[in-house]
Amino acid sequence: MQQTTGPVWDERHLRLGVTAAGVALWAWNVDTDRLTMDEIGFDLWTVPSGAAVTFEDLSANIHPADRDRVRAAFSATRGIVGPYEIDFRIMVGDEVRWISARGRGDDEGIVGRVMYGVFLDVTGRKQAEEAHELLAGEMSHRVKNLITIAGALTSMTARSSETKEDMARELSQRLTALGRAHDLVRPVPGQTENAALLGDLISVLLTPYDDLGAFSGRIRVSVPRMGIGEAATTNLALVLHELATNSVKHGALSADAGLLDVACLIEGDEAVLVWTERGGPLVTPPSPGTGFGNRLLDRIMTRAFGGGVEYAWPPEGLIATLRIKTGKLVV
């Protein structure tokens, strides 16, 4: 039987493999504190090739939040038995890179007072881990918010429904619409821009109320193209559902031919949202500050949106003017 032999590995083959893997080799003289690196190491740390480098020189490039931890870890390597690994950030201009330093402690494998190890650029892996952590945190926050909103919507729907069947139907519609609205702003790893448009969001939130009359299309939305963040979505959903609930119970949406217009314009640093009802029954202005819904709406508009709400009661119906700081819409 003919015996096959594998490739013969020499220093040249090892160097090709190390280079292909992006592994930077380093050697540290424990007496002089001098570090010797290969070309990959100098490029990784953006240090002039062949320069005399000490650990303190490299420390200047370590992220300030990690610097003391890394210094302490390297000083402790002489007392660590076996292999060690430490991940830390370095600054390359305004860019942040993640480096993993690996070696063997307790003077294991030391040759001529020199310890050996490798540096790896693990920026991609760290960014993926951070994105996953952010997504997990966002989803946890989202679940808590949705539970809170579900309770508030249940209370609102109970006030506007005459039978349990009506309440079940209306609550199901509103929760479905809320779910669609949050789908518009679901978090995407690594994405910082707003994932939804204000006009789309308002239309989706008000969809359950559009088919409660004699015809569809009686709710019209006209707003400029602008983004909205998840936290603002949660608060705006509560505000719009409160206004819509009151309209279904007392205002234009309680009449088959009633109409609702929602328009928005930008004035300086404020988005002014105007809610206009027409074609409903004559309404009587409520006493200021009465009712859970009104108090909730006022609190959201002032605390969460940095603005406020004003009401006008002309004979043809309610006009509610909501003022929202534009900076509050993107969070």
Is residue 260 within 8 Å of residue 212, measured between CB atoms? Answer: no
pLDDT of residue 297: 82
pLDDT of residue 117: 82
Higher-pLDDT residue of 248 and 329 is: 329
Percentage of the chain lying above the pLDDT 70 cut: 74
Alpha-helical regions (H) of the chain: 11-21, 39-45, 55-59, 64-76, 123-160, 164-184, 198-210, 230-249, 292-299, 326-329
Is the pLDDT confidence value at 137 over 80? no
pLDDT of residue 191: 44
For residue 68, what are the CA distances in angstroms to 27, 32, 71, 117, 158? 21, 20, 5, 20, 58
pLDDT of residue 294: 73
Highest mean pLDDT among 43-52, 181-190, 287-296: 43-52
- What is the third-level CATH fold of 127-329? Heat Shock Protein 90 (3.30.565)
Side-chain half-sphere exposure of 20, counting CA atoms within 13 A: 6
Low-confidence winner among 9-13, 106-110, 131-135, 249-253 (lowest mean pLDDT): 106-110
Express each pLDDT in 203-219 by its tens digit. Answer: 887 887 776 555 568 89
pLDDT of residue 152: 65
Q: Give this prediction's pTM.
A: 0.49
pLDDT of residue 115: 76
pLDDT of residue 190: 45
Q: How far apart are CA 187 and CA 319, in angstroms?
A: 34
Is the pLDDT confidence value at 188 over 60? no
pLDDT of residue 20: 67
Mean pLDDT of 216-228: 87
pLDDT of residue 30: 73
Query: 201 φ, ψ to 5°?
Result: -65, -45
pLDDT of residue 263: 95
Q: How far apart are CA 147 and CA 187, in angstroms?
A: 18
Express each pLDDT in 87-118 by its tens digit. Answer: 999 888 888 899 888 877 655 555 567 777 88
Residues of each domain in the chain carrying CATH 3.30.450.20: 20-121
β-pair type (259-267, 219-222): parallel
Is the pLDDT confidence value at 146 over 90? no
Closest CA to 149 of 111, 114, 176: 176
Express each pLDDT in 235-278 by its tens digit. Answer: 888 788 788 878 877 888 888 888 999 999 999 999 999 999 99
Structure tokens at 139: 């989803």
Q: What is the mean pLDDT of the chain?
A: 78
Higher-pLDDT residue of 117 and 322 is: 322
From the CB of residue 236, how many other CB atoms can be counted at a distance below 10 Å? 24
Q: Which CATH superfamily is domain 20-121 in?
A: PAS domain (3.30.450.20)
Is residue 67 within 8 Å of residue 57, measured between CB atoms? Answer: no
